[in-house]
Structure 1
Amino acid sequence: MRARRDTPLNDLRLAIDCLPLRTREAMLEGIRANDIIVGAYSDRDGGVCPMLAAHRHGGRTSFVSFAHAWDRFSGAKRARRATARELHVLTAQLEDSILSEADLGGAIADHQRIARERKTQEARRVGLGWLSERRADAAAEGALAQVERRRHLVKR
């Protein structure tokens, strides 16, 4: 049996992914700093919806699709406080959406640079500089042997 693609959670994730990055970041800040509700824009007790929380934290976006997806996900029939589970899912979805836009190429390049630097430092600490000295000694010995051969040929 195939899984349904139009589940409330999938709709919420799609709505989150459609938000501008700055709005997602502001929403994440907002849901950590405010009492979040479902089923309304705000309530008399100071609770706010995630979009209003984002707006108050600098994410100035109006996106009705998010509000509908949020209320559908929560199954809101009336205005109420969001449950801990609903907030956990929203936070996880926002964090995952934000991280999916991270510059992985830059992170990989940084990791490789740090690894090279660490290997260089370890080689210095362990004293593997003698390897390059042996190569230089071998090259000098080869040049000396060549000079000796030429000198030997001249004497004859």
Structure 2
Amino acid sequence: MDAMPRTAREAMLRGIEDNTIIVGAYSDPGSGGICPMLAAHRNGGRTDLASFARSWDRYTDARRPRLATGREVRTLRSLLELSLVAEDGPLDSLAEIAREIRAERAEHAVSVEATTAAAPRPTGERNRAPELRHKPFWSWILPARSLEVYRERIAAASEQASEQRAAAILDGERSGSERSADERELAGVDD
């Protein structure tokens, strides 16, 4: 790859994208495919490097003309791209690249943490616990991990509800007409 001129490699990359690539021949009228060198030539890469053609046929184990497999074309594309990147300049060391990635991740984590800690996500609901705390039946019982605890909480809630109903009846907060059917039944008042 590196022996070919840069323009030929770039032209070959364009050619393998736009054409059906074959192995074992320069062109194949039956399939309409062309070899990578002809693809490069048709895309402006004027070269006559016969060693590439022999290497390509040897790599693909071509005994007769056939279509190149997807794997063979992907390998050729990867080798061409790698040779062009390597020619552009020295690659950074792996340790240097790893340091850059770690630094970027740390910066990202700090920015995410800053935005998360700075503003809690609004749920759209306001906390009404302080105003409802003294109203009967405003909340449900907390979840329990065992049946025993659940039964104890239900019993305590029932007892508390009974006490609140009794206090309401004794204090006469409501007149008989304002009471619900359940409250009248609990108080033993018949209509």
Q: Percent identity?
A: 56
1:4-32 CA distance string (max 9 Å, x none) = xxxxxxxxxxxx11000000000000000
1:72-151 equivalences in 2 (<5 Å): 72-103=58-89
TM-aligned CA deviation for residue 103 of structure 1 = 3.7
> 52, 58, 69: which is aligned to 2:38?
52
Q: Distance in 1 between matches of 2:81 and 2:56?
A: 16
Could you tell me which residue of structure 1 aligns to residue 10 of structure 2?
A: 25
| Counterpart secondary structure, 2:57 | helix
Q: SS of 2:33's equivalent?
A: coil
Q: Show CA shifts across 1:79-127 (max 9, x none).
A: 000000100100000000010111459xxxxxxxxxxxxxxxxxxxxxx
5+ residue gaps, structure 1: 1-15, 106-156
When normalised by structure 2's length, the TM-score is 0.46
User: Following the alignment from structure 1 to structure 2, what is the Cα–Cα distance between the partners of residues 36 and 59?
Assistant: 16
Deviation per residue, 1:44-99 (Å, 9 max, x gap):
13200000000000000011000000000000000000000100100000000010
Q: Indicate the residue corresponding to 1:148 in structure 2.
A: none
Partner-residue secondary structure (3-state), 1:60: coil
User: Distance in 2 between the 1:103 and 1:58 partners?
Assistant: 24
Q: Which one has a bigger Cα radius of gyration?
A: 2
Partner of 2:128: none
Query: Structure 2: which 5+ residue stretches go unaligned?
Result: 92-191
Match in the other structure for 1:13: none
Q: Which amino acid aligns with 1:21?
A: R
RMSD value, Cα = 1.3
TM-score computed with the length of structure 1 as normaliser: 0.56
Number of aligned residue pairs: 90
**In the alignment, what sits opposite 2:52?**
66
Aligned partner letter, 1:81 = L
Kindly provide the CA deviation profile for residues 117-150 of structure 1, in whole angstroms up to 9, marking residues without a partner as x: xxxxxxxxxxxxxxxxxxxxxxxxxxxxxxxxxx
Larger RCO: 1 or 2 (CA < 8 Å, sep 6+): 1
